[in-house]
Copies of this chain bind each other. A is one copy, B any other.
Amino acid sequence: QTNALRTNATLEAACAWGNTPDGGMNRLASNDDDKRVRDWFIAETSKFGCHHKIDAMGNIFAIRPGQNNALAPIGLGSHLDTQPTGGKYDGILGVISAMEVLQTIHENKITTYAPLAVINWTNEEGARFPPAMLCSGVWGGAFTTEYGHSRTDPEGLTLKEELERIGYLGETECSFEKNPLTAHFEVHIEQGPVLDQAEEAAAVVKGVQSIRWYNVGLVGREAHTGTTPMNRRSDALLGAAKMIVETNRFVTEGEVAARGGRATIAVINSSPQSINTIAGHVDFGLDIRAPADSDVELIEAMCRKRFAEICDEIGLEMTFDNFWVSPAVNFDPTMIECVRSSAREIGCTTELVSGAGHDSVYTNKKVPTAMIFVRCRDGISHNPAEYTRPEDCAAGAQVLLGAYLRYDDY
């Protein structure tokens, strides 16, 4: 049995750094607050018989030995970084649930069959260093360490130099091959409305939908807003605006919309940022998702075609860079079964596919993986109002314990 009160107390402790006045969190990967929570994570897990490996991407593995230490550990992981307008549950609850399992096992003096690794993956959000799940991605072989190291934040700082600065550029090589696991379980808040509507505390996650990210760059011509006739302009911001409206239309009307396609533009920058000079340069980020890879490809094709037409119409040059592809994922049937039977024990039967990407997407490339979702209020996430009830947080840890022990017994 996990301890519900303790789970919530640990969660609160993990939110001591990077909290914002509106009750949310702003703990971008590899900033000073991320360093502080990492130091705390290492100190806490040390109390329960763990030694630590830190890898070249700053991923932290807190390892508690088992009976067979020649076996790779079973990993229970998630992330402690947040969005700039993040909540206190996204990622954090997963690490805390894993810590609760660790602590429960430790206080019950259980020696597990395989070693146990509680894992904090670096930069899951991708908010500071796109793409998301970058460092589980390096571990899972989706990216090279060089690629991960070279990713930059909007200020131009690289992840490598920032990890070095906070003292978390570790010596362990970041790869499944050099630092293997046997399996990976992850608890996460759902971040969507399904469990809230189903009135269940937790769910089995069978997989993750398809995701692609793009940087789109537009070049028009700077010109005077007052003297340049409307029909002699190459207005890059007008072009971007048309693209945003059209992209939204593609996923709110018609077939792709019916099949659950989503597309969002959230980051935009225009230059030269002068109210009386027509924008000559605009860049924006595009996020496309759908349950099926083919629908993401379809939305991409619709955007490429329509964006090119808009560029022709207005007289813009475009770069369209698809810098991240995360295909749809199905988790391991055995692992899913472990989660399913553990969830049933507390009366939860919902099964769903994740709309968000998670570190488990990349561990799944190498080892059997499954996830547990926990209900969150109104499905709100990436927002300070993100909220999960204490009993639901505790339920997540409890389902994780059951699933983990089932797999360890295996």
Contacts and interface: CB of A to CB of B under 8 A. Distances in A.
B266 A275 contact: yes
A276 interface: yes
Nearest to A384: B222
A23 to B, nearest CB: 13
Interface in A384-399: 384
Interface in A349-396: 354-357, 379-384
A135 interface: no
A406 B404 CA distance: 95
Cβ-closest 10 pairs across A and B? A241-B244, A227-B355, A192-B227, A275-B285, A225-B264, A127-B274, A84-B272, A241-B241, A277-B382, A191-B227
Nearest to A251: B230
A86 to B, nearest CB: 8
A21 interface: no
Interface of A: 83-85, 125-127, 130, 132, 154, 190-193, 209, 211, 213, 221-232, 235, 237-238, 240-242, 244-245, 248, 251-252, 257, 262, 264-268, 270, 272-280, 285, 287, 289, 354-357, 379-384
A277 B226 contact: no
Q: How many copies does the complex hold?
A: 2
A268 B218 CA distance: 15
A74 B381 CA distance: 64
A275 B270 contact: no
A277 B83 contact: yes
A355 B248 CA distance: 35
Contacts of A126: 275-276
A357 B224 CA distance: 11
A211 B240 contact: no
A379 to B, nearest CB: 7
Contacts of A226: 191, 209, 211, 262, 287, 289, 354-357
Contacts of A265: 237-238, 241
Given A224-B191, A383-B221, A154 B273 contact: yes
A285 B222 CA distance: 16
B241 A264 contact: no
16 contacts: A83-B222, A125-B276, A126-B275, A126-B276, A192-B224, A224-B356, A225-B262, A226-B287, A226-B357, A227-B381, A237-B268, A238-B244, A267-B270, A267-B273, A268-B268, A276-B287
A288 to B, nearest CB: 9
Contacts of A230: 248, 251-252, 257, 262
- Among A127, A268, A355, A356, which residue has the most Cβ atoms of chain B within 10 A? A268
B245 A190 contact: no
A232 B229 CA distance: 39
B241 A125 contact: no
Contacts of A268: 237, 268, 270, 279
Contacts of A242: 241, 245
A255 to B, nearest CB: 14
A372 B72 CA distance: 82
Given A225-B264, A230-B251, A381-B223, A83 B274 contact: yes
